[in-house]
A and B are shown apart, each in its own frame.
Chain A
């Protein structure tokens, strides 16, 4: 399927010494501005996120859509690639120029990529395809620069909530349809679980691979605080962050309701949750997919509520999602073709009932969750119409997501400057509070503020 193009050969030749020997391989054969946009010219692009061989139905469905797209757009040739976003290798691959023309990447990177010139200005192509007006305006705010230019297409949006094991709730004598609404509830529920369900970590917190900072940011938002100011020029952590850490400290050391493992990352905590040993943990609804499909968790035991709130309540929750990373070095014709593909692959189902039904049927047949709640990448009306079309195929127990889906919490974007670095710098703070009973929380936050300001200064340099 995949031909070895000059681009791949160049990339392969240079990938040996990514860190150092990259100066020589920086042009994968495109000369951006020199070319005029010609929508009918022959063009070849590579597209990422192709399902792997171990998911044959999904792969077949993907390849079928590739063929359909090529048939409908005779001048565009697609080279599918199984490249997917991975935090650990992304920067190296981006720098090495080995990523496809377009693929999905964590929305976390949007500000950084725009600022660093690693994303092309997509405004003309999105205008050409008349796509901008239908996109969820809230998500669009995350992918614009100060002049209103749009650099990417956000998809797969979510906000953080609290996932819980309904079985554990029942054993503890808690109502499985009532997740904790406040952090006081979380603490009380955790105590009740500890008293009634032995061998279970009542409340688990992620702390490693940047997830510690990610979740501390979420908890800070829930308390009404912020990590950085809106423009991303300085760190503004204050009493809201301290309150979040104090709560974790008290749950760990006073109540002892957080178990013994304090080096969880996303995968680790999901595995433990799927093993039935965790009562509650902060997660977005996409956890359902991984838990049920990859780790065999019983769907009947999954529950998720809106993010518990602190302070005066209704402060908000953190949002995230996927952005489509277009190759900054691609030609205008390639970028237009890539935008067409994304429109076709990710958005047609919201506008075309037949496509919606086909897509839902394929996913249901492959055992994928259909109708999984999340924030729509399109406007709410269009999304509701789409949900109406696919209703017969929805296989997710929506009533177990009720508290999450009925949430009206304000949605707050991630810290703008050096987002992943910011999270990485906050990981040790959370770890310290959970592993050192006598940690000075205010001092830890003050030290972290200093580190964050250093990161912000280095990012703006």
Chain B
């Protein structure tokens, strides 16, 4: 009894944790609400991530007991003669997508934004490719890319005296062909985000600029782009991460060919796992890619942070 009497003034200071009060104050409910989410994440998200890390140090076909092999999966994937080319191809795709694919949605968004009439129609048209499922779209584009002179693109280009081009069937044109498709497929959904961002730009700025005699290009350069800066930075990071994970397009268009010209890192990971049944090598390369993308994101964050504040 005396103990509790003595403890009471201490509790008044509210420094010490009191279970009953915490539970009465709703802490228990908070935990109860959090439990399902934490369990779902632990089982479906964090669990696999940790399992993946463990797998990358094992040799297993998931039927026989797993065997610890140390760094051997990592040395195997790093010594794979195809890794350098796959990395270069992935970087090449990322570069092409950045140079050609990145500005197009911005231009598209600005153009649609400038329209006074029918802008929702153009909105819908721009977004249309995003509605087509990628697999269907890719199979369709495979027809367009028919390397024969009778192929769709070749026929159209033939009218103006160009081609026929081999498209996917030559090492130097396979990747640009994939980028062309990816740009077509991705521009609409990215443009929608820019259009939404553009609607937040205050119209007084344009009016003021117009009164000052600024033409359309100067308005875009001095008002639109600076106002979109943060969105552009985020989209660029998302695109970079996305392009480093490119898989569907080379998988369906070329299977990585011709002569590995479109073999990407993710396609390699896929082949390790699902063609070779070598889950250790596949997870080892996945871990390396994840580490690389993590570093890239951190570096990007700091670089763009400086730009943003300057």
Q: Which residues of A contact B (CB under 8 A)?
A: 16-17, 19-24, 26, 87-92, 94-97, 112, 116-118, 199, 207-210, 259-263, 265, 328-329, 418, 420-421, 424, 427-429, 431-432, 434-436, 439, 447, 450-451, 454-455, 458, 461
**Contact status B277-A19, CB under 8 Å:** no
In Å, the complex CA distance between A32 and B268 comes to 35
Mark out the residues of chain B between 48 and 81 whose CB falls within 8 Å of any chain A CB in the assembled complex: 48-49, 51-52, 54-55, 59, 61-64, 66, 69, 72, 76, 79-81
Per the bound structure, the CA–CA distance linking A76 and B169 in Å amounts to 53
Residue B101 interfacial (CB < 8 Å): no
Given known contacts A428-B259, A451-B81, is B166 in contact with A263 (CB within 8 Å)? Answer: no
Closest Cβ of chain B: how far from A58's Cβ, in Å? 27
Partner of B274, one of A92, A117, A260: A92
Q: How far is the CA of A131 from the CA of B168 in the complex (A)?
A: 50
B271 at the interface (CB under 8 A from A): yes
Chain B residues whose C-beta falls within 8 Å of the C-beta of A117 in the assembled complex: 61, 63-64
Complex contact B258–A263 (CB within 8 A): yes
Query: In the complex the two chains form, what is the Cα distance from A447 to B52 in whole Å?
Result: 31
Flag if B63 contacts A263 (CB, 8 Å). no
Collect the chain A residues with CB atoms within 8 Å of residue B170's CB.
435
Say how far B265's CB is from chain A's closest CB, in angstroms: 15
Q: Once bound together, how far apart are the Cα atoms of A263 and B55, in whole Å?
A: 34
Given the contacts A19-B282, A21-B51, A436-B259, A95 and B277 also touching, CB distance less than 8 Å: yes
The smallest beta-carbon distance between B77 and chain A, in angstroms, is 10
Query: Do B259 and A432 touch (CB < 8 A)?
Result: yes
B75 to chain A, nearest CB (A): 10
Q: Which residues of B contact A88 (CB under 8 A)?
A: 274
CB contacts (< 8 Å) of A210 on chain B: these are 275
Q: Would you call A461 and B59 a contact (CB within 8 A)? A: yes
Contacts of A23 in B (CB 8 A): 51, 54-55, 62, 66
Q: Measured between C-beta atoms, what is the minimum distance from A267 to chain B in Å? A: 12
Q: B63 touches which one: A19, A21, A26 (CB < 8 A)?
A: A26
Given the complex, which residues of A lie within 8 Å of B263, measured CB to CB?
428
* Known contacts A95-B277, A424-B271, A428-B258; is-contact A20 B48 (Cβ 8 Å): yes
7 A-B pairs closest in CB distance? A432-B259, A95-B62, A20-B48, A20-B52, A431-B258, A260-B147, A208-B255
Contact B259–A91 (Cβ < 8 Å): no
Is B254 on the interface with A (CB-CB < 8 A)? yes
Question: Is B120 part of the contact surface with A, judged by Cβ < 8 Å?
Answer: no
B266-290 with Cβ < 8 A to chain A: 271, 273-279, 281-283, 286
Tell me whether B44 is interfacial, beta carbon within 8 Å. Answer: yes
Say how far B53's CB is from chain A's closest CB, in angstroms: 9
Known: A20-B55, A91-B273, A451-B82. A328 touches B283 (CB 8 A): no
Cβ contacts under 8 Å, A428 to chain B: 256-260, 263
Distance, CA A199 to CA B82, complexed state (A) = 37
**Cα of A265 to Cα of B252 in the assembled complex, Å:** 11
Closest beta carbon of chain B to A7's beta carbon, Å:
15
Q: Which residues of chain B are within 8 angstroms of A261 by Cβ–Cβ distance?
A: 146-148, 169
Could you list some 5 contacts between A and B, CB below 8 A? Answer: A17-B44, A91-B275, A208-B257, A435-B169, A458-B281
A150 to B190, CA, bound (A): 57
Write the nearest CB–CB distance from A146 to chain B, whole angstroms: 18
Query: With a CB–CB cut-off of 8 A, which chain A residues contact B256?
Result: 427-428
Cβ contacts under 8 Å, B62 to chain A: 22-23, 26, 94-97
Give the contacting residue for A435; candidates B66, B259, B282; CB below 8 A.
Answer: B259
**Nearest CB in chain A: distance from B85 CB, A:** 9
Query: Given A262-B258, A424-B271, A432-B259, A118 and B61 touching (CB < 8 A)?
Result: yes
Minimal Cβ-Cβ distance residue in B for A327: B63
Q: State which of B63, B79, B164, B278 has its C-beta within 8 Å of the C-beta of A94.
A: B63
B103 CB-CB contact with A under 8 Å = no
Q: Give the Cβ gap from A260 to chain B, nearest Cβ, in Å.
A: 4
* B47 adjacent to chain A (CB < 8 Å): yes
| Contact pick for A263, options B164, B255, B281, CB 8 Å | B255
Chain A hits for B281, CB < 8 A: 458
Most buried by A among B55, B275, B279: B275
- Once the chains bind, are A420 and B276 in contact (CB under 8 Å)? yes
- A424 surroundings in chain B (CB, below 8 A): 271, 275-276
Set of chain A residues within 8 Å of B282, measured between Cβ atoms: 19
